[in-house]
Chain A
Amino acid sequence: MRKEEYQKLVAEYTPKENKWKNAVVAFLVGGLVGFLGQVVVSVLQNSLGMEVMESYSWLCVILIFVASFCTALGFFDNWVSKCKAGLFLPTTGFAHSVTSAAMDYRKDGFITGLGSSFFKLAGSVILYGILSGFFLSILGVIFYG
């Protein structure tokens, strides 16, 4: 049997992922996190009298803490895998990726393990985040002065 024929056979027996279902789950969960974030921001602004920018900084800190704490308690990975892309929001997803990497490598030494592997997954986000920021800011200067 040729390789192409075999790949066809494999495709026949491979269950199809339900992409629409995944998308809907991700949309609802992601939306719910956004909604909760908005509730937190409103509480911070209205009850504690914070400025808008200050309240968003606090929201960021709260999301990072909750995601990292839940990761450390060991159940957040199940949530993330069940919610598909819904919890891969920049803040919770990023915190989850660095905390899980830190937990894996903490016993391999602070420099050789924890330090060097901390951004194992999040490194791409940082690198390409900075790069795209750089190029977008050049475009911003060209078009808007």
Chain B
Amino acid sequence: MASKKFNAIYIKNSFSLAGPVEKRGSIKDYDIVLDDYYYNEKTFEQAEIKMQKVVIDNLLNQSRLVNSEIDLLVGGDLSNQISISSYAASHYSIPFFGVYSACASFVQTLIAGAEYLDNKRKGNVICVTSSHNLNAEKQFRFPIEYGAPKPTTTTFTATGAVSCLLTKEETNIKIESYTIGKVIDMGCTDASHMGAVMAPAAANVIVSHLTELDRDINYYDLILTGDLGCIGSKILVEFLKQAYGIKMKQHMDAGCELYLKSQEETYAGASGPVALPLYLFNKVLKQKKKQKILLVGTGSLHNPFLVNQKLTIPAVAHAISLEVNL
């Protein structure tokens, strides 16, 4: 059993930065949008480090806090050795905890941050995550300017960075509970079909969450998965029905919703750890329509070497339940 309920842990503020393709997507009011992938830096890696710094700095300003008032910085991203988050953290005198579970990293930062705050009387934790389309392309796929034909199941790594502040002070967004998922391998080998790789892990953590906390699927107004994409979402809904007999009607996938259908270059939708928080903070929470939200971060845990060695790809998903006071 890896579920836990919290009494009083809240999300206070958040700050979002989105890239050029996201700017043309379904959300128009990000805090900052980039016009180019370099962000006035020499390389894309350095641009992503700057993106994280900018969202942390702005969050601190917005919350009127200084480094010494933050107990912990939890960060995660897709780069090798999560070096983007670590390099960004080196600019702050805040204890840093780096986490990785691919595109489920954002939910993992929330779980780690909330767990730290639990049983404390007061405290502030910053959670940060980012991804950069071109860094992910370079690391996981082909050189950036190489035009390999891609299948329609491919997802497009979102560019952006999001930071949020967890506190013990009461706000209108409460982190209510979480469930840590198992690593699931259902025999997929295609790294360009990550929706199929991750859907069973998402289903598994949803079922564990509902069982362990003794809830019905209709308890939630919205189940928001991270980056299954439009094809992976359909697979998840069908898999839940066939394998567990659960009909999930109130489902949305951040990856499938982040871009417009007319943006053909994004194929089956967005991926990357930043897709979920971008959609959550800039659409779902701003609309103020959903009260009980289950966030399910989904991560495909492959690396290019093991994919080349023809091993099947394992995936993990973590769930965190939010209660929004409308």
Contacts and interface: CB of A to CB of B under 8 A. Distances in A.
A15 B145 contact: no
Contacts of A78: 147
A90 interface: no
Interface residues of B, number: 28
Interface stretch (B169-177, B236-244, B247-255): B236-244
A74 B188 CA distance: 33
A1 to B, nearest CB: 4
B101 interface: no
16 contacts: A1-B242, A6-B186, A9-B235, A10-B188, A13-B196, A17-B151, A17-B152, A72-B145, A74-B145, A77-B145, A80-B146, A81-B147, A81-B148, A85-B149, A100-B146, A104-B144
B143 A121 contact: yes
Interface string B133-162: 000001000111111111111000000000
Contact of A103 (B143, B150, B186): B143
Contacts of B193: 10, 14
Interface string A117-133: 00011000000000000
Contacts of B196: 10, 13-14
Contacts of A80: 146-149
A58 interface: no
B231 A15 contact: yes
Nearest to A107: B43
A3 B243 CA distance: 12
Contact of A15 (B153, B187, B243): B153
Interface of B: 42-43, 138, 142-153, 186-188, 193, 196, 200, 231, 234-235, 238-239, 242-243
A115 to B, nearest CB: 15
- In this complex, the interface size class of chain A, counting residues with CB under 8 Å from chain B, is 35 or more
Interface string A1-39: 101101101100111010000100000000000000000
A65 B239 CA distance: 50
Contacts of A107: 42-43
A9 B142 contact: no
Contacts of B188: 7, 10
A101 interface: yes
A89 B293 CA distance: 51
Contacts of A71: 145
A76 B147 contact: yes
A28 to B, nearest CB: 15
A6 B145 contact: no
A9 B231 contact: no
B142 A3 contact: no
Contacts of A101: 143, 146
